[in-house]
Structure 1
Amino acid sequence: MDVVVVVVSSSSVALLFILLLSLLFFATSRKQGSPSGRDGRRLPPSPPGLPLLGHLPLLGPLPHRKLRSMAESYGPVMLLHLGRVPTVVASSAAAAQEVMKTRDLAFASRPRVRMAERLLGGRDVGFVPYGEHWRQARRVCVLHLLSQRRVHAFRHGREQEAAAMVGRVRGAGAVVNVSALLISYSNGVICRAAFGDDGTRYRLHDGERLAKLFADLDALLGTVTMGDFVPWLAWVDTLMGLDAKATQTAMEMDAFLERVIADHRHRRRGDHREGGEDQRDFVDVLLDVNEAEEEAGGVLFDSVAIKGILLDMFAAATDATYTTLVWAMAELINHPHEMRRVQAEIRAAVGDDDHVTEDHLGELRYLRCVIKETFRLHTPLPLLLPRETTEDTEVMGYHVPARSRVVVNAWAIARDPVTWDRAEEFVPERFADDKLSADYLLGQQDFRFAPFGAGRRGCPAVGFAVPTMELALATLLYHFDWELPPGPSGGMPEQLEMDEVNGLTVPLKATLQLVAKPWCHAP
């Protein structure tokens, strides 16, 4: 009899629990958004979801692809419930234009993301909510770190890193790990810009540890945590080891940056800066701003803000740059005609010179077409960074309440067959007649192509990233002819597999291994 009582009680509790979950789910759905809100205004269409978790389990391992499939059924503007977070997804150029231009101010904030706040201190520029700190931080970045004059001042460092990359290829043996090569190049460029001459010293002494730290930073920033969407399931993040890894990465990164800042402060006290204003690195510039604020009576850019902005720069300049370059090389390997065409252009432009310099880049129109087509097919951040509405607004006639999360699926928009001919194919020639072929910021006018976002929260580092990418790709294609290595059976594979892996960016899943054959310039 006792046993029977226990069984009946357990069944009753289970049934009661299921009933409560169902009631909670329907109550949550009514509260967050059904076809019409409580005030009667029309909300975007919403697919069926699951109790408590909503649409989170439906996103799969590659959310940008799943969201495109869902948009084909529910339209270019959808309302999803990611746990307790109402999220509007824009999947057409017209919807993106409303979010990033027409009603840009209403969509200008960012949601608070636990992982970003833990790693970046909540005082950076990319992930912080809209407000005075963001305005001042962006102003400093645009005027003092990423202006055309400052980008040009870093030219020598980029060219040195490109030359070093050629040397690593020549010493790599039969097969080159192109993924590792381009990570090292991208990291070297941003290290020189951020830390100046000290950047080389830090890389020599801490190279492997720094590479792992920056890789962990990128991976963690791209990780969706349960605590962000379902707070009562935050323990899952702890169980999976995410919290411990984030704490360890943040501590190690903080210790490294503290040492960098201390070294710079020590050097500045000794007045050992050489080369004038244009030779200042990012840390010098941020310390100048910090000291100017202190003299004015306020401390806007303290050490936490300096470290947050530097980490933003590293995350954007390393991960997005090398990811795009790897995709470009992979597409060219699979399209040998386009590979030969861009190599012919580069080699003709370089002429009797022995190497590519940034003076040659202005002549390389087809190279720009290749990079822009790579951006289109493999948008560095497929979903950009999420936005959050600061007020009640609307998109394409649908009501979007204040504090809703908003995601722009730039990847799906760039592959929309309605607006792009041969949308799934690699066709650099589509940009050949573009009057703005030198401009990668077409998202300011043409929202079919917005790899860097647009509006107030568009990426301010385009001018820094573009010459870094163009120089690297031109250098590799000038000095070497590239092909796939033999397969396991000894035969030549016909195509490179182009599978993706999800993260803050979406890189090629496999390590890119290629054979490099030195090209000799005929006198």
Structure 2
Amino acid sequence: MTILALLLYTSITAIVLYLLIFFLKPPRSLKRLPPGPTPWPLVGNLPHLGATPHHSLAALAVKHGPLMHLRLGLVDVVVAASASVAAQFLKSHDSNFASRPPNSGAKHIAYNYHDLVFAPYGPRWRMLRKICAVHLFSAKALDDFRHVRQEEVGILVRDLVGSSSTTVKLGQLLNVCTTNALARVMLGRRVFGGATKAADEFKDMVVELMVLAGEFNIGDFIPALDWLDLQGVTKKMKKLHARFDVFLDTILQQHKSSSAGVSSQPDLLSTLIALKDDADGQGGKLSDIEIKALLQDLFVAGTDTSSSTVEWAMAELIRHPQLLKQAQEEVDTVVGRDRLVTESDLSQLTFLQAIVKETFRLHPSTPLSLPRISSESCEVDGYYIPKGSTLLVNVWAIARDPKMWTDPLKFQPTRFLPGGEKPNVDVRGNDFEVIPFGAGRRICVGMSLGLRMVQLLIATLVQTFDWELANGLDAEKLNMDEAYGLTLQRAEPLMVRPNPRLATHVYESL
């Protein structure tokens, strides 16, 4: 039997078995499932997802309601597309949806579930989260390393001044800044010297990871077809993982053989290596694989999400010059034009904070929440949610819900100011109208750092430069299309020309 014939025979057998199971099994419950589109044979609703699932699911929610049931292959999937439904899942039923469903990304990229993002809910997950919360994201740790963020933002400004006569790819420089700021805390050193080939390759790896992790891989939903890798996703994941592993292994080995971290302010990796030899009291010891998996999580989730959010914000401000001017006037009033804005100034910049919130609303870094899985059956909005159901929260759709927002597609920061429609809404997971970091037990552990970094970067870029688009492009014609992935990237990078607007000595002192 030829290989082709064997593949065909195996595929037909898998399909026949699936159809027998699907059509002959007894009804699982007489209780009502949430409404949703009629599934296709075998593949279920996978064809309904389209190229941009957050758009497709938002359109389906208009027809079927804010709580939908989909059948993706053999998997029950529920989708929350309104703030009230999301709150029921992530608040009222949070403990039931605290774990992640099996998926190829966690297996082939995240060191087979050894990381923090995809680790099953339990002692090991709590240990990894506690390590990050205490050593990297606590208020004390954030304050201790404030100077690092300030210095890296200063380097970014210096690089932009040096490029003021040319066009720059803003997202690339932002990514270098956020990566180096995080690396200095994690590793005790910078990893990139600027917009170099190595920095480009790293950003490409991160973006590719986000794209692959956002894929709806058929093998995840029809396990009998997993080995065929029909979309080639698994092959790409394994290849990317090998590249990331070399990058992370080099960092780990260099750190072990150097004196990095031997200071009054040890870095995170030194702490992790120290924990490697000590029982943590909850889930055993840290292995090299767990250390690399955690570093990968932090590098990926802590860099590109922030830089892409800032890139979206600057694109919106360039498209709305009156808002940029208003933000510049606020910074000039609070800070002046003889020094750079600092983190301590941010609390006084209320309009800038509103800009940040509006950017998170209109361009959430994670448009579809990372999936969760129900440990037990439950009831939401009077509908039956089966045990083992995958939960997706359409963060993008919730933040554009016309029932919750006036002119939801309009970039309008004043909606978050006193007198606006949502003056008290925050983005920290308590107000479900805007949950860019998620909510509940699985809320992003690095939320506080992300907020500080995004606010500081936007404030600095607003204060230090006036902005022109490349090649004299009209701001109204700026492409604002999205490229789908686990994170919301711009389809086209923002190409700009920065024009310094502060006193010369401010830039010379950097």
Pair in the same fold by TM > 0.5? yes
Give the equivalent residue in structure 2 for 1:210.
202
Query: Which of 455, 458, 467 is the aligned partner of 1:482?
Result: 467
Say whether the 8 Å CA contact 1:365–1:438 is kept in structure 2.
no
Q: 1:52-96 CA deviation, whole Å, 9 max, x = no partner?
A: 111101111111111011111111111101111110101111110
Q: CA RMSD in A?
A: 3.0
Cα 1:201–1:442 shift into 2, 3 Å: closer
- 1:249 maps to which of 240, 255, 270: 240
User: Aligned to 2:455, what secondary structure does the other structure show?
Assistant: helix
C-alpha deviation, 1:411, in angstroms? 1.0
Matching residue within 121, 133, 144 for 2:135: 144
Match of 1:443 in 2: 429
Per-residue deviation, 1:486: 3.7
Is this contact kept in 2: 1:89–1:406, CA < 8 A? Answer: yes
* Match status 1:292 vs 2:278: yes
Contact 2:192-2:199 within 8 A present in 1 as well: no
1:507 aligned partner: 489
Q: Do 1:290 and 1:299's aligned partners in 2 also have CA atoms closer than 8 Å? A: no
1:75 is aligned to 65
Instruction: Call closer, same or farther: CA 1:298–1:460 in 2, change over 3 Å.
Output: closer
The aligned counterpart of 2:398 is 413
The secondary structure found in structure 2 opposite 1:321 is helix
Match of 1:425, as an amino acid? K
Matches within 5 A, 1:331-410: 331-351=316-336, 353-410=338-395
1:351, CA displacement in angstroms?
1.5
Task: Give how far 1:359 is off.
Answer: 2.2
Name the residue aligned to 1:154.
145
- How many positions carry a matched residue from both structures? 493
Name the residue aligned to 2:86.
96
SS of the aligned residue for 1:97 comes to helix
Check 1:185–1:21 CA distance in 2 against 1; reply closer, same or farther (3 A cut).
same
1:290 touches 1:302 (CA, 8 Å); kept in 2? yes
1:516 is paired with a residue whose SS is strand
Distance 1:423 1:24 in 2: 43
- Are 2:285 and 1:314 equivalent residues in the alignment? no
AA aligned opposite 1:176 = V
Partner in structure 2 of residue 194 of structure 1: 186
Is 1:52 equivalent to 2:42 in the alignment? yes
Amino acid paired to 1:242: V
- Shift in Å, 1:317: 1.1
2:22 aligned residue: 28
Gaps (5+ residues) in structure 2?
A: 1-7, 506-510
SS of structure 2 residue aligned to 1:293: coil
Q: Which residue of 2 aligns with 1:171?
A: 162
Measured in 1, the distance between the counterparts of 2:100 and 2:465 equals 43
The alignment status of 1:498 with 2:480, answered yes or no, reads yes
Deviation at 1:337, TM superposition (A): 1.2
The structure-2 alpha-carbon separation of the partners of 1:352 and 1:201, relative to structure 1 and needing over 3 Å to count, comes to closer
Q: Partner of 1:214: helix, strand, or coil? A: helix
1:502–1:211 CA distance, 2 compared to 1 (3 A)? closer
Give the secondary structure class of the aligned counterpart of 2:375: coil
Deviation at 1:471, TM superposition (A): 1.3
Give unpaired runs (5+ residues) of structure 1: 1-12
What is the CA distance between 1:224 and its match in structure 2?
2.7
1:220 is the counterpart of 2:212? yes
1:366-411 alpha-carbon deviations (Å, 9 max, x no partner)? 1110010011111111111111001111211111111110111111
Q: 1:26 to 1:67 in 2, by over 3 A?
A: farther
Alpha carbons 1:365, 1:437 under 8 Å: kept: no
Q: CA deviation at 1:251?
A: 2.1
> Is 1:120–1:307's contact at 8 Å kept on the other side of the alignment?
no
Compared CA separation, residues 440 and 462, structure 1 to 2 (3 A): farther
1:135 alignment partner, one of 122, 126, 150 = 126
Aligned residue type for 1:146:
F
CA distance 1:99–1:30, change in 2 (3 Å):
farther
* Distance of 2:497 and 2:45 partners within structure 1: 44
| Contact 1:332-1:338 within 8 A present in 2 as well | yes
Tell me the CA shift for residue 197 of structure 1: 2.1
- In the TM superposition, residue 124 of structure 1 has moved relative to its aligned partner by 1.0
Instruction: Establish whether residue 119 from structure 1 lines up as the match of residue 119 from structure 2.
Output: no
C-alpha distance in structure 2 between counterparts of 1:297 and 1:467, whole Å: 31
Deviation at 1:454, TM superposition (A): 0.8
Give the match for residue 464 of structure 1.
Answer: 449
- Give the TM-score normalised by the residue count of structure 1: 0.87
Change (3 A) 1:45 1:404: same
Question: Structure 1 residues 248, 359: CA separation in 2 closer, same or farther (over 3 Å shift)?
Answer: same
- The residue type equivalent to 1:77 in the other structure is L
Counterpart for residue 281 of structure 1: 267
The equivalent of 1:6 in structure 2 is: none
Cα separation, 2, equivalents of 1:57 and 1:406: 18
3-state SS in 2 of match to 1:426? coil
Structure with the greater alpha carbon radius of gyration: 1
Does the Cα contact within 8 Å between 1:486 and 1:492 map onto a contact in 2? no
Identical residues among aligned pairs (%): 36
Within 5 A, what are the aligned runs for 1:424-443? Answer: 424-433=409-418, 440-443=426-429
1-structure distance, mates of 2:34, 2:24: 14
Alignment-mate amino acid for residue 81 of structure 1: R
Contact 2:68/2:80 (8 A) holds in 1 = yes
